[in-house]
Chain A
Amino acid sequence: MSYIALSEKDKKEMLKAIGVSSPKKLFDCIPGDIKLNRDLKIPTAMSEPEVMGYFNECAQKNKNSEYISFQGAGAYRHYIPAAVDYLSSRGEFASPYTPYQAEVSQGTLQSIFEFQTLICQLTGMDIANASLYDGASGAAEAVLMAMRINRKSKVLVPKTLHPHYRQVINTYTRNLGISVREIGYDETGRIDTTELEKNLDNNTSAVVCQTPNFFGVIEDLDKISAYAHENKALSIAVLAEASSLGLLKAPGEMGVDIATGEAQSFGIPLSFGGPYLGFMACSKEFVRQFPGRISGETNDIDGNRGFVLTLSTREQHIRRERATSNICTNQALCALRATIFLEILGQQGLREWARQNIQKANYAYDLFKDIRGVKAFFSGEIYNEFVIKTGKKWKEVESEFMRKNIIPGISLERFYPELEHCGLVCVTEVSRKKDIDRFAEILKGILAG
């Protein structure tokens, strides 16, 4: 297959116009001793049906379609309305570049402006950006932003934050003289506030708090923000399951300074972990330290409303090494999917969606807790995920479930060696009651055996 649109005649005419005999001549500027002078050793070209066939076979080697899954932990199964795929696959959205030429990019720029507004409404914050790569790098960017604001060098990161997010924060901060201190959890499954208090001092730049946290437990953001502010540190909220914003109190109502997270839940398929959608919002006063692209409203010379990328003096192409972040390409098309998703759901749909998540998960939680040999490991309230402790090691429980074509959740042992009997189970609006009930029956059987 080739995607070249020139005929042999075209090529000849063009070479003649340039004044060279063959395209190879145009590479004379490359020294001979570094030229390859052979064909690349990669598979020979395939036709479209052959390529399709190869990938169909490849995809068949994935076994996910044979299982019912209760996995979450930062990647959530939700229903995606048909209009999301339909609209976001339009070439007018999929095939432009970043909207540098605003006059021919109003569709993209206005969509970003709507996305920013929706994120502000959901988080209760003043401003939002056009997107970041994902939840993990969003958390890292929030930490770097806090350090730029208050120039302090210590950040408190709880063990209740997604382990991968913690790893990314460590990678991003390790060369910048920042000390990252991990804070443990208590029997509610929330941040251990005694330990938090002990570690807060006037060199603390920020306290990071994920809610609902990695264990699915809803944190007391209000209290965490108050602790942070008493020590003149900033409060960073991380939302790894953005659907919770449809029902739970907004970060902006709970003293949060920077809200960031993962919006995969808003119309983006699981896709083996990406592309996903990082987002960030903050209070107005921090706008100069805010990373990422922002769309802003303005007028054209006739006085008509239009949108442009704005406040770009923060960004790398203007400020180079003094930029607030190096990010330029972000996850624009994912942000468009989220925008369409949220607008389709609308005010009532969003609330109903979150309500079904919290109701179904709590139904499952209550059902499983009552099974002999099962314990609710934490006492805190949960949103759509929860930790259960079983009489057997989770790995054994899991393999029994897999035999019945159910993936019961995620083993916590690899991240928390102390939790080898615990699994993290996620129940969303797509989990049917009959599957939840069957889960309970199977679990009962495994633990009775």
Chain B
Amino acid sequence: MIRERLIFEISDKGKNGFRFPKLDVPENKSLNDRIPMRDSIKDFPQVSEVEVVRHFTRLSQTNYCVDKGIYPLGSCTMKYNPKINERIAQIENFITSHPFADPEMSQGNLEVLKTLEDVLREVTGMDAFTFQPAAGAQGELVGMMLIRACMEERGDPRKFVLIPDSAHGTNPSSAHICGYKVKEIKSNDSGTIDLDDLSNNMDKDVAAIMITNPNTLGVFENQIKEASEVVHSKGGLVYMDGANMNALMGICRPGDMGVDAIHLNLHKTFSTPHGGGGPGAGPVGVKKILEPYLPVPRVKNKDDQYFIDEDCPKSIGRVHSFYGNFLVAVKALAYILSLGPEGLREVSETAVLNSNYIRKSLEKEYHLKYKTPTLHECVFSDKYQKQYGVSNIDIAKRLIDLGVHPPTMSFPLIVHGALMTEPTETESKADLDSFIEAMKQIAEEAREDPGILKSAPHNSYVRRLDETAAARNPKLRWEP
């Protein structure tokens, strides 16, 4: 196989891929003496346009992607990204719009943001949204800051945040940056929050609980209302990580379960592409009690005119250079308007159907630690395969050989050797079956020929990579 070189290795002196028009003002030579300038950057690439285009085309072909096939990465909601959304996000008047443009000149942009706020309020049952957070983790941070600001105004910010042991790693990290210490709440045998453990830990020093619902096992926290009551009765607030909203649209709403603040991942539930790791968007929705603390600027409307409100004295302030990832919001609104109320409910129903079909088809071959019913995802483990010396990583790498993307590995932490599987609603039955067949084949190979799994992948662009060596002897940039 031909290996794509680094651009720096393709580079050759004197080539270039772009030409600027001639400078149309008289050159001021004195600038060179007045201002400390650098020499040409040594070893900066020098390549022609065709070489750049082929370089990235060839690189792209080594990636797996949703446009190619099923991508059942648990907790990531890798659904198909409708192409109309991309076209809309390229409309000239959106992309050439300056963030300091006067509101009168950017009514279209403000309408998008306000309309999206209104539909998300209805979908979640919350009262107000901010679009500043650029991703889910920043949304969590904002959510916790809002809670802290509210607590401070009541007189005491409190010290702790309760987080279930099944939570995403971003939850404890976000709470920590907000100045809170984390107390972990245990899961019970059905994989949900242990209400007794919650009651024992909930006291006047606890500011909030961060709940993911459905949780990372795909299980609905059926006692969420009771949990919220426990937290509220001691003066705490409830934050919901909305990463798994894809299971709930049109079915039930966080705002009706006692949730005070939530973030959504527009790049998961609302179909905007992940881009290999962003840009996403993590808008935060809140109940009335937290609205005064939302970040500035806020978009509002009066008499059919949209305006920007920066005069919010209790606001936690700004968390983004401008209005957040605006074009991502545009795409999410296009998605919601395309689907409408029935369409959104069908999304959740089908996501849950697909996930349960996979669960049912594989539960004999792969261990399920929790037997509780699941919604949009389910977490298998490598327990049955361990006896043959095969672990979840071997299963994942072998799936690559078989042409499908592996599930999320080793998360949540409460399931040892986890394979967290979320097919989403956009997969055809044939694609679901191809995943199921591949998993079954691997289960058989584990019994018959485990060696083939341990040395997988065999026919990918690169074979199993040495991550330990990468961390031990970090090489983080090209050098001549």
Contacts and interface: CB of A to CB of B under 8 A. Distances in A.
B105 A313 contact: no
Interface in A303-346: 304-308, 310-313, 315-323, 325-334, 336, 340, 342-346
A348 B44 CA distance: 9
Contact of B81 (A1, A94, A299, A301): A94
B352 interface: yes
A58 B256 contact: no
A274 B471 contact: no
A20 B352 CA distance: 12
A187 B251 CA distance: 62
B141 A326 contact: yes
A92 B174 CA distance: 31
Given A64-B96, A110-B59, A345 B18 contact: yes
A45 B357 CA distance: 27
B116 to A, nearest CB: 11
Interface string A132-145: 01111100000010
Contact of A306 (B138, B325, B425, B465): B465
Interface residues of B, number: 201
A364 B1 CA distance: 54
B25 A271 contact: no
Interface residues of A, number: 200
B233 interface: no
B52 A343 contact: yes
Given A56-B91, A106-B62, A287-B474, A329 B137 contact: yes
A105 B63 contact: yes
B106 interface: yes
B292 interface: no
A61 to B, nearest CB: 4
B470 A42 contact: no
Nearest to B113: A272
Interface string B319-354: 111111111101000101111111111110110111
B277 A6 contact: no
Interface stretch (B30-38, B194-202, B234-242, B445-453): B30-38
A246 B456 CA distance: 44
- B56, B67, B225 interface centre (most CB from chain A within 10 Å): B56
B440 to A, nearest CB: 14
B444 to A, nearest CB: 20
Given A1-B338, A65-B93, A334-B279, A36 B250 contact: yes
Interface in B64-92: 64-68, 71, 73, 76, 78-82, 84, 86-88, 90-92
Nearest to B176: A321
Contact of A103 (B7, B169, B252, B465): B465
A333 to B, nearest CB: 3
Contacts of B34: 381
Interface in B28-66: 28, 31, 34-38, 40-47, 49, 52-53, 55-57, 59-66
A116 B477 CA distance: 6
A97 interface: yes
Interface string A111-133: 10110111011100011101101
Given A108-B277, A326-B173, A168 B320 contact: yes
A44 B64 CA distance: 34
Given A107-B59, A326-B141, A343-B52, A29 B222 contact: yes
Interface stretch (A8-16, A189-197, A202-210, A438-446): A8-16
A126 B479 CA distance: 11
A114 B172 CA distance: 32
Contact of A328 (B57, B135, B350): B135
Interface string B1-41: 00110111001000111111001111110010011111011
Nearest to A398: B102
Given A51-B88, A104-B400, A344-B52, A381 B35 contact: yes
B286 interface: no
Interface stretch (A150-158, A226-234, A384-392, A428-436): A428-436
Interface in A42-64: 42-46, 48, 51-52, 54-56, 58-64
B278 interface: yes
B349 A46 contact: no
A307 B475 CA distance: 10
B107 interface: yes
B164 to A, nearest CB: 13
A325 B31 CA distance: 41
B350 A23 contact: yes
B280 A329 contact: yes
B367 to A, nearest CB: 19
A43 B466 contact: no
Contacts of A321: 172-173, 175-176, 181-182
A174 B280 CA distance: 25
Contacts of A75: 98-100, 321-322
Given A62-B93, A113-B478, A298-B470, A14 B63 contact: no
B45 to A, nearest CB: 5
A250 B394 CA distance: 45
Contacts of A14: 353-354, 357, 429
A23 B352 contact: yes
A179 interface: no
Nearest to A108: B276
Contacts of B426: 3-5
B129 interface: no
Contact of B122 (A40, A175, A410): A40
Contact of B108 (A58, A100, A106, A410): A58
B35 to A, nearest CB: 5
Nearest to A13: B429
A257 interface: no
B338 A104 contact: no
Interface in B334-380: 334, 336-347, 349-350, 352-354, 356-357, 360-361, 372-373, 375
Nearest to A82: B49
Contacts of B66: 91, 95-96
A171 B326 contact: no
B373 A346 contact: no
Contacts of B157: 175
A43 B337 contact: yes
Nearest to A58: B108
Instruction: Kindly list the 9 A-B residue pairs having the minimum CB-CB distance in the complex, ordered from nearest.
Output: A273-B322, A333-B275, A45-B340, A273-B99, A91-B67, A332-B277, A275-B279, A175-B179, A92-B60
Given A273-B99, A300-B464, 11 more contacts: A29-B219, A29-B372, A59-B92, A89-B86, A106-B462, A133-B135, A133-B138, A269-B96, A297-B475, A305-B3, A310-B474
14 contacts: A63-B106, A73-B100, A75-B321, A113-B6, A113-B476, A118-B45, A168-B318, A174-B317, A249-B37, A293-B277, A321-B176, A329-B279, A330-B279, A333-B278
